[in-house]
Amino acid sequence: MNSHNKKRPNLLFIMSDDHSANAISTYNDQLIETPNIDRIADDGMRLDHVYCTNSLCAPSRATILTGNYSHENGVRGLSEHFDGSQQTFPKLMQADGYQTAIIGKWHLGHGDKSDPTGFDYWTVFPDQGDYYDPEMIEMGESKVVEGYATDIITDKSEEWLDNRDEDKPFMLMVHHKAPHRPWHPPEKYKDLFNHHDIPIPDTFHDSYQQSNAAKNADMRIEDLKEEDVKQKVPDGLSSQEVKEWKFQRYMKDYLGCVKSIDDNVGRLLDYLDKNHLTEHTIIVYTSDQGFFLGDHGWYDKRFMYEESLQMPFVIRYPKEIQPATVCKEMIINNDFAPTFLDFAGIKVEEPMQGESFRHLLQGKKTGQWRDAIYYRYFEHLTIHNVPAHYGIRTNRYKLIYYYGEPLDVIGAVKKPTTPEWELFDMERDPYELTNEYNNPNYENVIIELKNKLQNVKDYYNDHN
C-alpha cells in the first residue's frame, strides 16, 4: 500500500430504509434488542440529533450522495429521477483512488441518466425491490437472486470485499431494503415476537388538534390494509381493538425485519475484525429517514415531526472517535458527504450545502455549529395526503409552514390546501401534540423564528 493510501480510512456505510431510531436499543430499549448496531455505538459514537431534510426515500438518498437539498439536486419527490452527472461524494472518492461499490437499494431511477455513477461495482434492486428472491441489476444486467434480501446484500458485500484490491482504500455502501413496507421478515423471524405485547407509544391516541395537516393525513394504524398486516382482522373487535390488533401485527413484522438487519450488521462487524480492518475503517449505521411506529397513531414518514425527521446514526472509527460517546448537536443528511470527504482528505470541487462534522465526532466543539436546521417536504398530498411544508427546528422550537401548493413537483397532487402554521415548544411538549402558533405568549418567539426561517431559506437558495 502506498503511503498516501495508508493514511486514508475505508468507509463502510450501512443504511436501511425507514428504520426509526426508536427500534434500535441504543436509542430505546423498549421495543427490540439490537446488539450489533449497539456495538457500533458502544465502540464509537451515537448521534441523537441527525435529521433528514426531506423525509422520503429517494430525496434522502439524493441528498446523502450530493450533500445538497432536494431543490438543488433535483430529487424533490419519489417520481423525480436522479441526474447522475452531478457531483457526488462516491464520484469524488473514486476519482481520488478509492474503490467504490453500492449494493442493495438505489431507488433513484434507472437508465442512462439515473443508473449509479461513481461506483466501480454496483448491484441494486429496481425501484423498491422485493424481500424474497429479488431481481437485482448488476452493472446494468438484470438477474433474480434467490434468498432473503437483507442476507443477500450482506453476502454480496462480503464477496466484493473479498475480491477488492487491498492496496487501495474502499468505500462500500450497503443499502438494505428492510424494514420498508410491506414488512416481510425472514422466515426464521416470522414468529419471533408472537409471545410479546409490543408497548403502545404515548401518542398512539393523538386526536390531531395540531392542524388540518395532521388530521387529514392518511397513514393511520387503523387504516392498514389486510396485505400490510398479512392476516384477516378477527371478528367481533371494537374499532379501538382493531387499531391495537393491527398495531401488534404491523410492529411484529417490522421488528422481525429489524432483527435480521441487526444480525447482518453483526456479520459485517465480524468480517472487519477477522480481516484486521476494524482500526482502519469508518463504519456507519443509519437509515434514510425515521418512521412512525404507532406514534401519533401512524405508520409512514413525510412529516417534519420528530419520529419521521430523525435518522438513527451510529459511527465507529477508533482512530478519531472515543468509545461510548454521544453527540447532541443538530446534524443534517446534507452533512454526510462533506464529512466522508473530509476523512478521506478530498477537496470538494463545487461547494456542497452540508458541513463536515468530523470535529464533532472527535469531541471538539468550535462554538460555531448551526443553531437551526431547515426542512422541506415537497410531495404535496401524494399517497398519504400530507401537504407540502417547510420549517425550521432549533434546540427548543419547531416552526412548520404548510404552504398548500403542489408547485411543479412531479407526482404532487394538483389540489391546493389552505395554508397553516404549527409551532411546537419541544421543551414543554416533546411529543408535538400542542400547536402554540395562536398562543399570544409565543408572539415574540414566532417573530424571531420566522426571521430565522427566511434567513435559512435564503442561505440555502430555496426561493419557492
Give the C-alpha separation, 35 to 38, whole Å: 5
Q: In what order do the strands lie in the sheet with 372-377?
A: 372-377, 389-394, 397-402, 420-425
Q: How far is the CB of 180 from Ca ion (least distance, A)?
A: 6
Quote the least distance from Cβ 228 to Ca ion, whole Å: 16
Looking at beta carbons only, is 105 or 358 nearer to Ca ion?
A: 105
Q: CB neighbours (10 Å) of residue 428?
A: 9
378 φ/ψ sector (left φ>0, alpha ψ -120 to 50, else beta): alpha
Question: Among 13, 14, 16, 17, which residue interacts with Ca ion (rule: CB under 5 A)?
Answer: 17
Q: Contact with Ca ion (CB under 5 A): which of 18, 130, 307, 436? A: 18
Choose between 175 and 259: whose C-beta lies nearer to Ca ion. Answer: 175
Q: Which is nearer to Ca ion, 17 or 130 (CB)?
A: 17
Helix, strand, coil shares, percent, the chain, to 5: 30, 20, 50
Of 49-57, 162-170, 242-250, 433-441, the window that binds Ca ion (rule: CB under 5 A) is 49-57
- The smaller minimum CB distance to Ca ion, of residues 110 and 180, is found at 180
Minimum distance between the CB of residue 105 and Ca ion, rounded to whole angstroms? 9
Contact, 277 vs 10, CB < 8 A? yes
Burial label for 13, CB within 10 Å (0-12, 13-18, 19+), is buried
CB of 366 to Ca ion, least distance (A): 32
**Residue 441 near residue 211 (C-beta atoms within 8 A):** no
User: Which residue number, 258 or 399, has a Cβ lying nearer to Ca ion?
Assistant: 258
CB of 98 to Ca ion, least distance (A): 26
Which is closer to Ca ion, CB of 206 or CB of 288? 288
Q: Which is nearer to Ca ion, 324 or 383 (CB)?
A: 383
The amino acid occupying position 314 is V
Report how far residue 32's alpha carbon sits from residue 25's, in angstroms, rounded to the nearest whole number: 6
Could you say which DSSP state residue 219 is in? Answer: -
Cα torsion angle, 353, 358, 360, 365, sign? negative
Size of the residue set binding Ca ion (CB under 5 A): 4
Q: Which stretch binds Ca ion (CB under 5 A): 5-13, 18-26, 106-114, 235-243?
A: 18-26
Q: How far is the CB of 17 from Ca ion (least distance, A)?
A: 4
- Residue nearer to Ca ion on the CB measure, 11 or 78: 78
We find the least distance from the C-beta atom of residue 108 to Ca ion, in angstroms, to be: 12
- Within a 13 Å sphere around the CA of 306, how many CA atoms are in the beta-carbon half? 22
For residues 18 and 253, which CB has a smaller minimum distance to Ca ion in the complex?
A: 18
Residue 379 sits in the site that holds Ca ion (CB under 5 A)? no
Q: Which residues, including other chains, have CB under 8 Å from residue 331's CB and lie 6 or more apart?
A: 47, 49, 50, 51, 313, 357, 360
CB of 272 to Ca ion, least distance (A): 26
Complex with Ca ion: residue 257 or 423, whichever CB lies closer: 257
Q: What's the min distance (Å) between Cβ of 306 and Ca ion?
A: 16
Alpha carbon separation from 319 to 206, 282, 286, 311 (Å, rounded): 45, 9, 20, 24
Q: Which residue minimizes CB distance to Ca ion? A: 57
Binders of Ca ion among residues 276 to 305 (CB under 5 A) are: 288
- 38: three-class secondary structure by DSSP: helix
Q: Which residue stretch of 9-17, 147-155, 199-207, 376-384 sits at the interface with Ca ion (rule: CB under 5 A)?
A: 9-17
Identity of the amino acid at 388: A
**The C-alpha cell of 283 is what?**
463504519
Q: Does 57 bind Ca ion (CB under 5 A)?
A: yes
Q: Does position 21 bind Ca ion by CB under 5 A?
A: no
Q: Measure the CA–CA gap between 72 and 62, rounded to whole angstroms.
A: 10
Q: Footprint of Ca ion on residues 202-231 (CB under 5 A)? A: none
Rounded Cα distance, 144 and 132, in Å = 10
User: What minimum distance in Å lies between the beta carbon of 166 and Ca ion?
Assistant: 34
Name the residues that contact Ca ion, by CB under 5 A: 17-18, 57, 288
